[in-house]
Amino acid sequence: MNIKILDPLVKKNEGLLWKKLNEAADRFYEAEKTLINDELILISDLNEQLKKNDCSIKDIKEKISELNKSRKSPEFLKLQKAIKSFENKKINEINAAKINVYQDLLDLLETSDEKHSTIHKEIFKTLKQPLYNADANKLLECTVQLELIAKIEPPAADKIIKQKLSLEMLQNKFSGGKNEEDEIKGLLIDFINNLQSNKINTNEKKLWKRISEVLSKLANQLP
């Protein structure tokens, strides 16, 4: 067909073509708008669940992974921050509970209670049957070494022990020794085994008070 004949036809139908194109664009825009609104409603609902603590964080993460139309929206970014805050809160609650249990370890000497799942099994095994070596020097070394791990300055009276242990810890670091969690576990076991008896004396109480301060600073490294 001659192009000169087509030109008038195109010009004649140009308005109709633009109308159809605009209608199609409007339908597409409305469909996109509906999808975005649906996602924003879901985001709002998930936010409310987080506020009420009535949710599974795993389920929420699965739901937001399916969102793709609202990822750049302020609402989506706000939800991500809320999830992070929620997770941090739960971690802090778990750590606080764990610290409390570990600070009360000496109350469980010779325990027959098997319900302390928070405590490492090796430590719990030691608690049930401590060796009671009655070594006061070893107790002090365990205490000072734990303070050094937690970056707590030991009392001036323990300066010589601090220098000795600092050197040993530095040597172990370069020789690829235990990780901090295993080291803390070993020191707690040593402390328990070197008590005098299940009746904690005054000196042992003072040392355990120092260790309790250490434990509050090492929540993430506790075994």
Give the residue numbers spanning the domain of 111: 104-221
Distance, CA of 49 to CA of 223 (rounded, Å): 32
Report the pLDDT value the prediction gives residue 38, as an integer from 0 to 100.
84
* Residue 63 placed within a domain: yes
Structure confidence at residue 1 (pLDDT): 45
Establish if 167 belongs to a structural domain: yes
d(CA 19, CA 25): 10
Residue carrying the six token digits 């990822």: 71
Say whether both 108 and 68 belong to one domain: no
| Residues 65 and 149 both lie in one domain | no
- Same domain assignment for residues 167 and 112: yes
pLDDT in tens, 155-191: 999 999 999 999 988 887 776 667 889 999 999 999 9
Q: Is residue 97 part of a domain?
A: no
Q: What is the pTM of this model?
A: 0.73
Q: Does the residue 22 lie in any domain?
A: yes
Q: What is the pLDDT at residue 26?
A: 58
Whole-number pLDDT of residue 100? 93
One domain, residues 163 and 119:
yes
Higher pLDDT, 116 or 42: 42
Closest CA to 105 of 190, 183, 182, 162: 190
- 177-179-180 Cα angle (round to 5): 125
If one compares 114 and 134, the residue with the highest pLDDT of the two is 134
- 96/93 Cα distance (integer angstroms): 5
Residues 68 and 112 in one domain: no
112 and 187 assigned to the same domain: yes
Q: Is residue 80 part of a domain?
A: no
Q: Are residues 113 and 211 in the same domain?
A: yes
pLDDT for 40-80, tens place per residue? 888 888 888 888 776 788 888 888 888 887 888 888 899 88
Mean pLDDT over each residue of the chain, to the nearest integer: 85
Number of domains in the chain: 2
Average pLDDT, stretch 198-213?
A: 97
61 within a domain of the structure (yes/no): yes
170 within a domain of the structure (yes/no): yes
Query: 60 and 142: one domain?
Result: no
Residue 95 lies in a domain: no
**SS3 labels along the chain:** CCHHHHHHHHHHHHHHHHHHHHHHHHHHHHHHHHHHHHHHHHHHHHHHHHHCCCCCHHHHHHHHHCCCCCCCCHHHHHHHHHHHHHHHHHHHHHHHHHHHHHHCHHHHCCCCCCCCCCCCHHHHHHHHCCCCCCCHHHHHHHHHHHHHHCCCCCCHHHHHHHHHHHHHHHHHHHCCCCCHHHHHHHHHHHHHHCCCCCCCCHHHHHHHHHHHHHHHHCHHHCC
One domain, residues 29 and 115: no
